[in-house]
Amino acid sequence: EVQLVESGGGLVQPGGSLRLSCEASGFTFSTYSMNWFRQAPGKGLEWVSYISVSSTRIYYADSVKGRFTISRDDAKNSLYLQMNSLRAEDTAVYFCARCPGSYSFDYWGQGTLVTVSS
Amino acid sequence: QSALTQPPSASGSPGQSVTISCTGTSSDVGGYNYVSWYQQYPGKAPKFMIYEVSKRPSGVPDRFSGSKSGNTASLTVSGLQAEDEADYYCSSYAGSNNFVVFGGGTKLTVL
């Protein structure tokens, strides 16, 4: 069974940093591209970042470019999102999701809440 | 403001059909056959429902179907059931600069 479990969310002050993790199981993690998404309270889904197999291609949404860094550790079956210079508008539930191709996302984690507030 | 435009709400009675639209531009929906749809219950993770405009992943009922005409994609739910009441989001590939964009979501109510 494919499972994605996010962790690392919490309350952080504006300007602070957090590192999110997404632990994968039930599939060969190294053979899939992965993504981070977020959903602000009461709002819609927003794509945040993409990382390809072997980390050869990485993309970011303009809203996080220069502040967030996506990475993966295939030996640990894990995906990461380092978030720096956090702003109030970064407050959201952050989801990781697997990309099987066709720019679609077939399995999602349950999400981890990031709250940026003083 | 979302890149793709969806109606905020849609509704239908059990057994009826409802169609949700997703309007973009020639740079996203109209330019690629990479439209996907996701179902989301409150407080839950999105569920993968449709990919490449009209293909259904295994396990998704054939009551759910997708289509596209020009810059507008559509999700049709036939034979509405109470369990179909959820939020639905469309997404589309938008090129290497924007990668993937989403609609604002449509709340489907089964009357």
Q: Encode chain B (111 residues) as per-residue pLDDT tens digits.
A: 778 999 999 999 999 999 999 999 999 999 999 999 999 999 999 999 999 999 999 999 999 999 999 999 999 999 999 999 999 999 999 998 889 999 999 999 999
Q: Quickly list H helices, chain A.
A: none
What's the half-sphere exposure (Cβ side, CA atoms, 13 Å) at A79?
33
Closest CA to B89 of B110, B109, B73: B73
**Averaged over A69-89, what is the pLDDT?**
98
Token pair belonging to B34 = 């990479």
Q: How confident is the model at residue B107, as a pLDDT?
A: 98
Q: How far is CA A46 from CA A25, A36, B17, B33, in A?
A: 24, 9, 28, 20
For the record, the structure tokens of A29 come out as: 């993690």
CA distance A101 to A19: 26
Contacts of B45 in chain A (CB under 8 A): 95, 108-111
pLDDT at B93: 96
For A57, the closest chain B residue by CA position comes to B96
| CA distance, residue A59 to nearest chain B CA (Å) | 7
Nearest Cβ partner for B51 among A61, A102, A110: A102
- Residue B96: the pLDDT is 83
The arithmetic mean of pLDDT across residues A31-42, rounded, is: 97
- Closest CB to A44: pick one of B57, B93, B102: B102
Helix (H, G, I), strand (E, B) or coil at B27: coil
- Smallest Cβ distance to A45: which of B44, B57, B102? B102
* Spatial separation of the C-alpha atoms in residues A77 and A24, rounded to whole Å: 5
